[in-house]
Amino acid sequence: MTHAVGAEQQGDDPARPGDLIAGRYLVEGHLGRGASGVVYSARDKRDQSRVALKIIHPELCHSRQVFGRYKREASILKLLKGERIVKFLDFVEHEGLLAIALEFVPGSSLEAALAGAAGLAKVKAPLEPALAVELVTQICEGLGVAHEVGIVHRDLKPANIMITEEPGRGLQVRILDFGLAKVVHGEHMVTGLTERDMIFGTPEYMAPEQARGDDVDPRCDIYSCGVMLYEMVTGHVPIKGATPLATMTAQLVEPIEPPRVRAPDRGISAALEAVILRALDKDPAHRYRSAKELVAALEAVGERRVISMTPQPDDDLHAHDTELSLRRSQIQAAGGLLEEAERIARARGQSQPAPKLDGAPAPAPAPARALAVPGKSWLWPVVSVLAILICVALGVLLALE
């Protein structure tokens, strides 16, 4: 949810400034709202610290599903400890209200920033590619913490990403709202909180397997990261239907328009485009397997500083250096053209006599063609083509070094 101080308060809000929740949290202001609850700024009376208090809508308090989701969010957040994840503080009930107290994070959501409503001049869609890569890298750092303990967010989107600007550190990212997260292994497995085939998430940022209602794993969060990165650098989400159902259907079947086609003037490199498109592959088997792999690919793009990471035993076997692959492909293509040009040159430069048949004398050679006249007028165009191709290949090889 967006922590936008001063957001307009609605008449049906479950709490108002001055209310004391669970005898502990004094409501001070309205921060934002979502489909299932409202977020307030509040003061913890025990130590006067400021918190973000997320309160469920009263009309939903009797819903077993929503109650379970909030309780699950509380239990999940207790597991997550990391700089990129908003800290969980408390889960309380008060006069039929359910609330979660979270660390208060000053700043604004990525959603508000991209819309130009956050006062962050650098973060306004479309972003410079290097800045977009930096923000998504930080998001992946938080996801890596969650994935390591078996938690998939399932609802990553700009509204659930907080951005703060810290002196000396620049823009810093924090991930919100694990209420839709799924515990995929371990003793904290939760079941029975959703109806059969019920689908949670936001269609524009939803992986195809999630739209189908399939089981999900960390690669569903990788897809959402790909959507956000695409949106940051182009100013548009890759897929948007007229209705949520149309969007979900399009996620299953509609091809992704390459970012450099969607926004040709944004300076998006071929390497960055390749990373985005792989993250957005409709087949999860073809995406990056983890947030760490996506970070490694973003580092290879060469538009940001390298983050030191401890490699896993099988990382070397599965790592995909996108820029290196692209350059190798260019070298192979250039090599193929060189071979073809040399073959043509040999064919044109040699006169092959026809073989004798049954002892018959060989026919007289055919008159020389224009290309074989003295002075070899065909030779210089072929040599020029070969020289150009060799220069291209050498340039690519030098760039690799």
Q: Which positions are catalytic?
A: 155
Cis peptide before 244 (omega within 30 of 0): no
Cα gap 45→341, rounded to integer Å = 80
Cα gap 105→161, rounded to integer Å = 11
Cβ(136)–Cβ(304) below 8 Å: no
The DSSP element (H or E) to which 162 belongs, if any, is strand 161-166
Cα gap 120→139, rounded to integer Å = 18
Exposed e or buried b per residue across 146-164, where buried means at least 16 C-beta atoms within 10 angstroms of its C-beta: bbeebbbbbbbbbbbbbbb
Q: How far is CA 363 from the centre of its chain?
A: 69
Q: Which amino acid is at 262?
A: R
State phi, psi for 220 to the nearest 5 degrees: -70, -35
Helices (H) and strands (E) in the chain — how many of each?
12, 11
How big is the chain, counted in residues? Answer: 401
Cβ(197)–Cβ(270) below 8 Å: no
- Alpha-carbon distances, residue 28 vs 16, 43, 347 (angstroms): 8, 7, 85
